[in-house]
Structure 1
Amino acid sequence: MLESLRRLLNKGPKSADMSPLQSWAETHKFQFKRIRDAEGCLIEPVPAAGASRTDSSGDGGWRIEWGDSQRSYITTREVRFTAEVGTPREMLALVLNRELMEAMEKAVFEQYVEDVQTRIDTETPPEMRWLVMFPKLANNELGRLKDRYAAVASIKPWLQLWLSNGLEEALFDTPDTTAASSPVVIVINRGRLTMRTAMPEPDAELLARWFTVFMRIMPVARKLARDWTDATAGGATGTLQPSVWPPARPDEAT
């Protein structure tokens, strides 16, 4: 009896079947790795000859991670797409589905009403703080995305260029496959592009859809970053380090 109870207690939750994501990665000849000591996986392109296996910061570099959510506004597991794009460190941009934005704004308002402004700076996700720090794009600036998405940026002209050069079109193609209530968040911060959305269980079809979106918006972001840097005589460098799997700390940028 005691041994049966011990086995029951030690059994724990059933592990997720990540074979759909592994099969998708292998079909596309990408690297697939399981995250050690965590319920998750990582997918990357195979490094070019002579390149470091841990370097994915070049023009062809990107990373996909599936696992525990790093943001409180995604209550299930999530899939994250990440790449260095070379934008200046001071440039911040946020594009998210409108339902999530409205929920975030309500949460910020309620925290202020409760007179806990300090908590807003220390416990809320950075994306929530940006909603009250930076100017929003007006509906006419969002174009066809106005009914589904919202956006803020520290440098609005750059975000508007990105929207008109592929981001608007890529996101406009998603409504038929993504519920309006499903969290979708795209961030540019510290030279890095991150796109995240909910994925409770490994789903190769859903992964493929959002990978297509990511691969449409990432090269444009890199090109605009280079053009912007040339025009302003500025620059930005960065490295793409593997994400940690616990939820993000309050001071984490992405």
Structure 2
Amino acid sequence: MGPRPDDPPRPVSLEDTEQWAAAQGLAFSRTAEPGGFLMLGQYEGRTWRLECGAPQRHYLRGTELRARIDVGVEPDVALMLVSRPLKEALEREAYGAFTDTLQTSLPGDLPEEVRWLAMFEEMAWPGVPLPFWQHFAVVGEGGLHAKRWVQPSMVSHLLEMLLPAQGEPDEAGTRAPKAPPLMLMVARGKVSLRIEYPGDHLQTLADAVMLLHEAARCALQHLPQGTAKN
């Protein structure tokens, strides 16, 4: 059983994390990186991996959770769900890289997801709660694929993840929900997740695993299947 959302935040040790993983039936190992770990699990007969360590992307700070599962969808399906504050920051960076160098194309050293923001338009459709679009954005190639992938169950889970991540209080003293820096992608037949990990609550880890499972389930059930490229 995972932690409850109303549990008070506290520093999470590797021992805490290992015990949580064991309770979920997950394989756990520590990595050479201080405080780092690797988890392996199964979803619908497919192995997924989640690693915790120093960010491999400059747009995440502190510690990063990165996870991946091969769902075998058509390799050409390209979709990305990103927290809106992170999207806006990366778009400013991409625009700056383009204008500062006076190039006719984006620099090749930008991460793939940053290039996607320049290549693909944001998509939206009716029937999704407004708070979702206020806190998250969906970009990619093919609006029909996006609508099929971002199912109501995924929307609900993402909105629930906002609750512990409260923003700064406004003039009335109310703390508005704040989306964590988060990037969820379907590319080359795989679902991948990157999320900033504050390390002060196991609920964040539980949310990341649940989100990976939900994104994989939606991809397996609603996206066209194919042969994933390695």
TM superposition score category, shorter chain reference: 0.7 to 0.9
Query: C-alpha displacement at 1:203, in angstroms?
Result: 4.0
Larger radius of gyration: 1
Paired residue total: 206
Structure (1/2) with the larger helix percentage:
1
Which residue does the alignment assign to 1:162? Answer: 149
Distance 2:157 2:17 in 1: 22
Structure 1 residue ranges (4+ consecutive) displaced by more than 6 angstroms after TM superposition: none
Which residue does the alignment assign to 1:222? Answer: 220
Distance 1:23 1:117 in 2: 51
Distance 1:139 1:183 in 2: 23
Name structure 1 gaps, 5 residues minimum: 1-15, 46-55, 230-234, 240-254
Which residue does the alignment assign to 1:92? Answer: 78
In the alignment, does 2:133 pair up with 1:146?
yes
Partner AA of 2:114 in structure 1: M
Greater shift in the superposed pair: 148-157 or 131-140:
131-140
Give the 5 Å matches for 1:101-250: 101-117=87-103, 120-138=106-124, 140=126, 143-144=129-130, 145-179=132-166, 180=178, 182-201=180-199, 203-225=201-223, 228-229=224-225, 235-238=226-229
Structure (1/2) with the larger strand percentage:
2
Distance 2:200 2:21 in 1: 12
Aligned-pair identity in percent equals 22
Closer, same or farther: CA 113–218 of 1 in aligned 2, 3 Å: same
Please list the CA deviations of residues 201-246 of structure 1 after superposition, one character each: whole Å capped at 9, or x if unmatched: 3742221122222222321211223xx23xxxxx21356xxxxxxx
In the alignment, does 2:26 pair up with 1:30?
yes
Q: TM-score, normalised by structure 1?
A: 0.72
Name structure 2 gaps, 5 residues minimum: 1-11, 167-177
Closer, same or farther: CA 203–67 of 1 in aligned 2, 3 Å: farther
Distance 1:175 1:203 in 2: 14
